[in-house]
Chain A
């Protein structure tokens, strides 16, 4: 297993465009998380899936953000009508249970111009 894979690694988009990111977790992990990290800050929680069910969403996840995890495998995070404030590193993580720690992907760096 090669760990958590995120695609693309970098994305530059114009304000107002839609973008979609993909995350492939470690195959035996049933939990998948999305976080957002801006410069000088720790990662901030966005949303969490257990298998295919989206169990929790942060207030940071506005109506322009949507996440899916069809069939409990890979996940996608879509941002509609991007704004400059959406520029950040979007991190995906997976885990099996909550005690053993998360495995993070390398992230997708989004720049909105």
Chain B
């Protein structure tokens, strides 16, 4: 079983629409990261959140860490075809030495 559950697994939308991706767990994480991955490439870090309730914005992307540090969300405003990719959430638990636990990812396709 995955420690981090991402939903939805697939998302296909038109350019200009808004979307939210969720990352949930029953475990507490000391920090949580979001990555974007293109086919045949490694994941690229988008953001790290470390404080419960923290909100970070990266242009049209808004990331939120849950108050209890068990969940996170990624919201994209006015999606563009360039946003297409696999979005992965990953968390570090305080008891592990930096091991990242990844969700299965959300495959986002934005159509022009």
A→B interface (CB under 8 Å)? 4, 31, 33, 35, 40-45, 48, 50, 55-56, 91, 93, 95, 98-107, 109
Distance (Å) between the CB of B11 and the closest chain A CB? 15
Known contacts A40-B104, A99-B50; is-contact A45 B99 (Cβ 8 Å): yes
Residue-wise, chain B 1-24 has the 8 Å CB interface mask toward A (1 for contact) of: 010100000000000000000000
Distance (Å) between the CB of A21 and the closest chain B CB? 13
- Chain A residue nearest to B107 (CB atoms) is A40
Contact across chains for A43 and B43 when beta carbons are under 8 A apart: yes
B→A interface (CB under 8 Å)? 2, 4, 31, 33, 35, 40-45, 48, 50, 88, 90, 92, 96-105
Contact across chains for B48 and A42 when beta carbons are under 8 A apart: no
- Chain B residue nearest to A9 (CB atoms) is B40
Question: In the docked arrangement, what's the CA distance between A12 and B26, Å?
Answer: 39
Question: In the docked arrangement, what's the CA distance between A45 and B2, Å?
Answer: 12
Known contacts A48-B97, A91-B42; is-contact A98 B104 (Cβ 8 Å): no
CB neighbours (8 Å) of B33 from chain A are: 101-102
Known contacts A42-B105, A48-B97, A95-B98; is-contact A106 B50 (Cβ 8 Å): no
- Chain B residue nearest to A46 (CB atoms) is B99
Question: In the docked arrangement, what's the CA distance between A75 and B15, Å?
Answer: 42
CB neighbours (8 Å) of A55 from chain B are: 97
CB neighbours (8 Å) of B92 from chain A are: 98
- Chain A residue nearest to B86 (CB atoms) is A42
CB neighbours (8 Å) of B35 from chain A are: 104
Contact across chains for A107 and B42 when beta carbons are under 8 A apart: yes
Contact across chains for B40 and A101 when beta carbons are under 8 A apart: no
CB neighbours (8 Å) of A99 from chain B are: 31, 48, 50
Contact across chains for B90 and A42 when beta carbons are under 8 A apart: yes
- What are some 15 contacts across the A-B interface (CB < 8 A)? A31-B98, A35-B100, A42-B4, A42-B88, A42-B103, A45-B99, A48-B97, A56-B96, A91-B43, A93-B42, A98-B97, A104-B42, A104-B43, A104-B44, A107-B42
CB neighbours (8 Å) of B45 from chain A are: 101-103
CB neighbours (8 Å) of B96 from chain A are: 56
